[in-house]
Amino acid sequence: MKKKMAVIGFGFMGVVHAKNILLNETLELCAIIDNRKNIFDGIEKTGNSGSLDLPVERLKQVPVYKSLEECVAKDKPDAVSICVPLFMHYELAKKALTLDLDVLLEKPFCPEIEQCQELIDLANEKNKILMVAHCIRFAPAWEFLADCIKDRRYGRLKLLSTTRMGGEPTWGVWQDEKIKKTCGGSLLDMLIHDIDFVNSCLGNSDDIKINLKSDEYWELCFGYNNDNTKVSIKGGFLHRHSVFASEYAATFECGSIRFNSLQPGVIHIGTDSGPELVNISGDLYSNELNYFSNCIESRKKPEKCMPHDSMKTIEICQKIRNSAPQ
């Protein structure tokens, strides 16, 4: 029997999760929970790349509730995908775990380390799956890079440079000045993706520096002295409506690999044998959802994206924020 999954928060990311649940063969989208009126208004303009070809008519047939309690009382789900603003992550994830539901929680985990730890403990106590949706871990181009770092097919990683930039968000909560202040700025909205990725591949950096900070633009340097590897993470918010792009360039002992999201589907490799192109396919958000659905089906912890790592990422972001020039 299909597992019943509800989406809480039907905004920019919620529509992507809802669409992918509809497409997943082992899940049933049993409910949408949002406290906003008229959640389908303007839906054709909502969502990021993952919301292309939204099955709007099918989504409109899904029961809509104003609260999780109401949804659980009427249509008990097995799991929820929580896609609400950061300041609501802790409260809603705690509520869902307390109600014995498995939880996929959008990144960033929670604003405070203590909140992250409490949710991890609660998930363990309740024997529930808790995964923070760090989608880059499921993006084919970044999985390729992670594999190259791990299996050293081009030798040891010497330098990794990533960039992630786009216009400051203009949708949903970002239109509310008070809530916007609780979102953690570009560090927790954008750079957290690269910080989490780097942390997952290279572990603890003993040397993190801020080379430049200008408003919501950051240039960070992570050093790994045990391996003599350097990582540069650059990015943040550009002027509203500027195009989004993420990019990496990685130099290993025997080759370099490059990717840019503006040219999706291809990774450029340069070695002594000459240039080479590797074609990649697959959508990060559906990969992420499929991985989570396998975890809830098999009752296996999300080894590829453990909540403890997501908490570590929050800890690193806090250290960076605290040492940033005001």
Ligand X SMILES: NC(=O)c1ccc[n+]([C@@H]2O[C@H](COP(=O)([O-])OP(=O)(O)OC[C@H]3O[C@@H](n4cnc5c(N)ncnc54)[C@H](O)[C@@H]3O)[C@@H](O)[C@H]2O)c1
Return the C-alpha torsion angle 203, 206, 210, 215, nearest 10. Answer: 50
Q: Which of 30, 86, 103, 201 binds ligand X (CB under 6 A)?
A: 86
33 binds ligand X (CB under 6 A): yes
18 binds ligand X (CB under 6 A): no
Q: Which residue's entry shows tokens 């949706």?
A: 133
| Window 127-156: residues binding ligand X (CB under 6 A) | 133, 135
85 binds ligand X (CB under 6 A): yes
Q: Which stretch binds ligand X (CB under 6 A): 5-13, 137-145, 153-161, 265-273?
A: 5-13
231 binds ligand X (CB under 6 A): no
Q: Which of 95, 107, 234, 258 binds ligand X (CB under 6 A)?
A: 107
| Window 262-291: residues binding ligand X (CB under 6 A) | none
Size of the site for ligand X (CB under 6 A): 25
Return the C-alpha torsion angle 109, 112, 113, 114, nearest 10. Answer: -120
Q: Which residue's entry shows tokens 């063969």?
A: 25
Quick one: 194 or 224, whose CB is closer to ligand X? 194
Quick one: 151 or 241, whose CB is closer to ligand X? 241
- Closest approach of ligand X to the CB of residue 189, in Å: 6
35 binds ligand X (CB under 6 A): yes
CA–CA distance from 22 to each of 41, 51, 106 (Å)?
Answer: 20, 12, 18
59 binds ligand X (CB under 6 A): no
Quick one: 134 or 312, whose CB is closer to ligand X? 134
77 binds ligand X (CB under 6 A): no
Query: What's the number of CA atoms in the CB half-sphere (13 Å) around residue 230?
Result: 6
Query: Do residues 31 and 59 lie in contact, with contact meaning Cβ atoms separated by under 8 Å?
Result: no
Q: Which stretch binds ligand X (CB under 6 A): 28-36, 120-128, 232-240, 249-257?
A: 28-36
**The length of the chain, given as a count of residues:** 326
User: Helix, strand, or coil here: 68?
Assistant: helix
- Residue 260, C-beta contacts closer than 8 angstroms, at least 6 positions apart: 245, 246, 247
| DSSP secondary structure letter of residue 184 | T
| Angle, helix 140-151 to helix 192-202, in steps of 10 degrees | 30
Tokens of 181: 């202040």
Binding site for ligand X (CB under 6 A): 8-14, 33-36, 48, 83-86, 88, 106-107, 133, 135, 171-173, 189
